[in-house]
Structure 1
């Protein structure tokens, strides 16, 4: 057999500053609440970092070596929880930063979870469906007991979906003793509905983005009707956020993804764009009802609301001054770096932070985990009501904290999340 070059040798864009960003955000909030130095030490590092290299046979009979990661940051509040992404930018530093963000996100949402994150360094567009299935199953096998329904529960993220989770669940359950297999269905969340998935999980993250925008508008005594918004990333999160905002009377005026950028100040019909993307292999290039624009001018599009729902570090001090939007709602994890955020706040912009704005996904995952664990079956209307209630509680906590302490919403969200974890350590003590 022939061994093909390791994925490490592929040239890929670096994810610069993500770890520095999350640490600066953490330390800023820790200073605000006078976090105990010992707990600061614990939360500043990850608990476990798993790196696996594994071979997979391709359709042509050749073998490629893949590198996968799973970083487990903290589990003081419960099992590690977080997504797995398939992307060329996946590396250990990115996984560390994303795992930390998950710890703050699950804590802020009041869930019995900690934070974890990971994935495989690859471009999934270069592989067939059969190859991706073999890659996923082999990765799951390589992770072995480092994941588990009461230990570490993966979910979909960038370039992974319900099918990926179905393959993971089946592989994991197949490695368990026969009597335990069905009891391990909740090892992952985000599964298809026919395989133990939650009805409505597909839209939970985007719905959460929409809801937090709606809650913000209500606090400011304004309506979303006729508000213009732009979305970076028209995947699952971007699409559903746009769908619900349009239903509220808002108008999508520009979209950007890896393929290009388009604009129409008269409005882009979300359903039409979605159908076009589905029919053109995920691309909206040449969409007839909008005009192409230069990628570097996207954030300068005239609008009221900006939703970065793609990758991290998209808004920096170099392009922050371009933003016309009054409100930036972080659909992605870490789309604004620290210097970019400082620039935006100086300009009087409001940022709904990622650990609040896109937490609908992990809340939906928690509902799915409970459903599987308890052998229940929840209906869509019930799920949406529960999401609404949970997100409303989280938003109100952050809003009231930020108003009371005269601080931005991100710092307020971090303070609430870290204080909950600190309380757990204080009450339980440190072993031994």
Structure 2
């Protein structure tokens, strides 16, 4: 008899499960629940781009706008083979909760292009980015929907998006549209510190958790999945606190060193090897499946969604998981971890430093201001700690886990907006 493998839960199904759990517990207004359980707008574009060899390829791009009750849609664009309508819906919905929880005047949106960017030249990526921007047209805009960097996209790509979008406007309108996109290079209107904001926010949340539990991070061991922008900066700031990186994983390799790995050395290695860890000589390369079983105090998943599941959650030795990625734990995996007593700092709280930094850049562009790095980091930590404390209080009030508490806190703010304004007409 052949036993059928249990199908994995999709990202959007995970989001809906989490939403329904919170909505039930908080007794969410049924009319508001209907609105928040679906997306507002889903955009799919197919666009042609000429390659370096003269041939034309057609790419598929997405932008899902979940909700804008609190302000313009806000969220990243990723370039990855896994980008599809299901993941875009999930990520857009998470952005709605994240921006609300952080107290920002934004809603949630997300999207990207179904592509492996490593297969294309820099010139091709520029043409793909610009053509995708043009295809989206007025579905994005500085007061309507504001994209930002995400997986495999960066400040340079955001500059291309801004330039393309502004080029479609008349001369008098161009200067008013610089804040159509966030995460630009500093010289093109970007924010000092935006590059490290998400990773810094992960560590601020870990520090707040440690302080509340009377724990020192000095000497504590941690592992990081994903050594891109978020994983690197989270590791950097953890090392600054005296914590020791003992395990690291990316798409190409997994390394372990019980004595610890120097974050700067790892980073310099990736810069010389196409952004990947492969070939690092100061640690033992292990089977990728063993990563989450590494003995450690803190686990930081900072790669893609659905990495911790029913299959591997039982392996985890860490006492706290800080979600640097969006949706790294599926609902079945989370049940196992909570039963084990593992504390989970949920994504919409833990990695909110990026969207808060985006808000600061948007304000800076909108108001014609320039903020220093110290000013940015101080404002960022203050907002993150405020959100952390709200989730803690909500968890205590409802006697629930932190993810559900974070959802309740976020959804309550949106519910209030709908109840106060009413539903048109």
TM > 0.5: yes
Counterparts of 1:348 and 1:373, CA distance in 2: 45
Counterparts of 1:425 and 1:402, CA distance in 2: 24
- Which residue number in structure 2 is paired with residue 373 of structure 1? 366
Q: Given the alignment, which residue of 222, 235, 241 partners 2:228?
A: 235
Counterparts of 2:180 and 2:278, CA distance in 1: 38
Does 2:14 correspond to 1:21? yes
- Which residue number in structure 2 is paired with residue 226 of structure 1? 219
Does 2:29 correspond to 1:36? yes
- Spell out, residue by residue over 1:168-212, the C-alpha distance to the aligned partner (whole angstroms, 9 max, x if none): 000000000110101100000000000000000000000000100
- Which residue number in structure 2 is paired with residue 211 of structure 1? 204
Does 2:140 correspond to 1:137? no
- Which residue number in structure 2 is paired with residue 173 of structure 1? 166
Give the CA deviation at 1:405: 2.1
- Spell out, residue by residue over 1:308-327, the C-alpha distance to the aligned partner (whole angstroms, 9 max, x if none): 00000000011000000000
- Spell out, residue by residue over 1:29-72, the C-alpha distance to the aligned partner (whole angstroms, 9 max, x if none): 00111011111100011000000000000000000000000000
TM-score (structure 2 length as normaliser): 0.98
- Which residue number in structure 1 is paired with residue 352 of structure 2? 359
- Which residue number in structure 1 is paired with residue 294 of structure 2? 301
Matches within 5 A, 1:22-421: 22-421=15-414
Counterparts of 1:422 and 1:101, CA distance in 2: 16
Counterparts of 2:35 and 2:267, CA distance in 1: 44
Give the CA deviation at 1:286: 2.0
Counterparts of 1:53 and 1:317, CA distance in 2: 36
SS in structure 2 opposite 1:181?
A: helix
Counterparts of 1:277 and 1:155, CA distance in 2: 23
Counterparts of 1:421 and 1:403, CA distance in 2: 21
**8 A Cα contact 1:79 1:112, kept in partner:** yes
Counterparts of 1:247 and 1:413, CA distance in 2: 28
Counterparts of 1:286 and 1:165, CA distance in 2: 31
Counterparts of 2:177 and 2:397, CA distance in 1: 44
- Which residue number in structure 1 is paired with residue 3 of structure 2? none
Give the CA deviation at 1:15: 8.9
TM-score (structure 1 length as normaliser): 0.96
SS in structure 2 opposite 1:38?
A: helix
Give the CA deviation at 1:288: 1.3
Counterparts of 1:80 and 1:229, CA distance in 2: 34
Structure 2: runs of 5 or more not aligned? 1-6
Give the CA deviation at 1:282: 1.2
**8 A Cα contact 2:126 2:157, kept in partner:** yes
CA RMSD of aligned residues (A): 0.9
**8 A Cα contact 1:15 1:94, kept in partner:** no
SS in structure 2 opposite 1:216?
A: helix
- Spell out, residue by residue over 1:135-166, the C-alpha distance to the aligned partner (whole angstroms, 9 max, x if none): 00000000000000000000000000000100
> Structure 1 stretches (4+) deviating beyond 3 angstroms?
none
Counterparts of 2:67 and 2:326, CA distance in 1: 18
Counterparts of 2:382 and 2:276, CA distance in 1: 35
Give the CA deviation at 1:16: 5.1
